[in-house]
Amino acid sequence: MSGASIVHARLKEGRDVVENVVLLVLAAVVTWGRLGPYPF
């Protein structure tokens, strides 16, 4: 997702950058929740 954000930023596609950042944050939360020190 971070690579996709970089590509969209270079192409000046602001809306797509925001979408990719939101998806990256959601994926990080899920990963933390599943693999973190206190899985839920």
- What's the pLDDT at 16? 86
**In the block, residue with structure tokens 């973190």:** 36
Q: Which residue has the higher pLDDT, 2 or 11?
A: 11
Angle ∠(20,24,25) on CA atoms, nearest 5: 120
- What's the pLDDT at 26? 94
- What's the pLDDT at 4? 82
Q: For the segment 5-40, what is each residue's pLDDT rounded down to a tens digit?
A: 888 889 988 888 888 889 989 999 999 999 988 877
Q: How far apart are the first and last CA of the chain?
A: 24
